[in-house]
């Protein structure tokens, strides 16, 4: 059975998150509907990382499996390769979303490719406008508007302090049978020449609400609600509680997902699925990759 990779971008403001939910407009629901339209059956998809309501993506990755006849028959006798035919036909159906979902590319990948478990890392960005004169109504769906100026240098120092492999339980909403150990590989916060603050984060994976909680903690320090060093000290108490502040969702964008070479896909997926030891000496399965 051919395994197919889809690369997607979407406006999260138009949906109630990624995951399909009865009676709600979601990105996965829109994709399921489009696939069913061209394939005449329901198709299960696996996503690199689920996003919450209002969270956007430029570089989301999905995989699905088709029958060989389905794959070869997508062109319907036209002089098109299967991936070209699928890109054209699926994009045509997704046009019903009025531009909120764009299919960037379609490709056949090895059966060892897993959009979720083969990923080496995910990268996100987060835009902040902290002065009224920076509030652009044309960017209100992808930029968090903050009342009152923040200190971007203090925020960047907080970000640097939590780099590395840690139990991020204090910044992750708990999920049963899921580990909160993650390797935060990059985290910077900079104010650009235009005055907009942009945070960029890369990790092997993110657990539920981790990005928004980390940004929220940095904002608390940048607004001087918390003393410098608060993020690192909070990291030493890996337990979610009411002290955690979630940054607004609309500033968050999944920028890209990185994968290894084809000959390393299976090994990477096996490593990701393996049990990860936690600092208490117990172990939990690395099954949760929800970023927002």
Radius of gyration of the chain (CA): 20
The DSSP symbol for 128 reads E
Taking the C-alpha atoms of residue 99 and residue 135, their distance in angstroms, rounded to an integer, is: 24
Contacts 24+ apart (CB under 8 A), 64-69: 64/3, 64/4, 64/6, 64/35, 65/1, 65/2, 65/3, 65/4, 66/1, 66/2, 66/4, 66/39, 67/1, 67/2, 68/1, 68/2
114 catalytic per annotation: no
The residues, ordered by sequence, that sit 6+ positions from 193 with a Cβ below 8 Å of its Cβ are: none
**Which listed residue (52, 114, 142, 289) is catalytic?**
52
Taking the C-alpha atoms of residue 279 and residue 276, their distance in angstroms, rounded to an integer, is: 10
The residues, ordered by sequence, that sit 6+ positions from 182 with a Cβ below 8 Å of its Cβ are: 165, 166, 168, 203, 204, 205, 206, 207, 210
Closest to 171 (Cα-Cα) out of 208, 126, 122, 225 = 208
Taking the C-alpha atoms of residue 29 and residue 18, their distance in angstroms, rounded to an integer, is: 8
Beta bridge partners of 14: none
Cα 37 off chain centre by: 26
The catalytic site residues sit at 52
């Amino acid at each position: 059975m051919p395994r197919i990779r889809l690369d997607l971008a979407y406006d999260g403001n138009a949906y109630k998150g990624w995951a399909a939910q009865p009676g709600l407009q979601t990105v996965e629901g829109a994709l399921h509907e489009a696939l069913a339209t061209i394939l005449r059956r329901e198709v299960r998809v696996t996503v690199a990382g689920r996003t919450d309501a209002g969270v956007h993506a430029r570089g989301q990755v999905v995989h699905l499996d088709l029958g060989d006849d389905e794959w070869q028959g997508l062109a319907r006798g036209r002089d098109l390769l299967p991936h070209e035919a699928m890109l054209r036909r699926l994009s045509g159906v997704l046009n019903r979303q009025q531009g909120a979902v764009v299919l960037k590319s379609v490709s056949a990948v090895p059966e060892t490719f897993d959009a979720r478990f083969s990923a080496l890392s995910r990268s996100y960005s987060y835009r902040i406008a902290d002065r009224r004169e920076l509030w652009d109504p044309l960017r209100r769906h992808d930029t968090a508007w903050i009342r009152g100026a923040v200190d971007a240098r203090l925020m960047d120092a907080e970000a640097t302090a939590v780099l590395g492999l840690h139990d991020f339980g204090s910044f992750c909403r708990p999920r049963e049978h899921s580990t909160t150990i993650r390797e935060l590989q990059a985290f910077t916060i900079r104010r650009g020449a235009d005055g907009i603050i942009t945070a960029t984060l890369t990790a092997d994976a993110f657990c539920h609400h981790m990005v928004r909680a980390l940004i929220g903690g940095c904002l608390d320090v940048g607004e001087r609600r918390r003393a410098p060093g608060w993020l690192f000290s909070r990291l030493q108490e890996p337990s979610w509680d009411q002290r955690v502040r979630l940054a607004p969702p609309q500033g968050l964008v999944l920028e890209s997902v990185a994968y290894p070479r084809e000959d390393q896909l299976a090994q990477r997926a096996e490593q990701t699925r393996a049990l990860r030891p936690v600092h208490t000496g117990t172990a939990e399965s690395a099954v949760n990759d929800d970023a927002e």
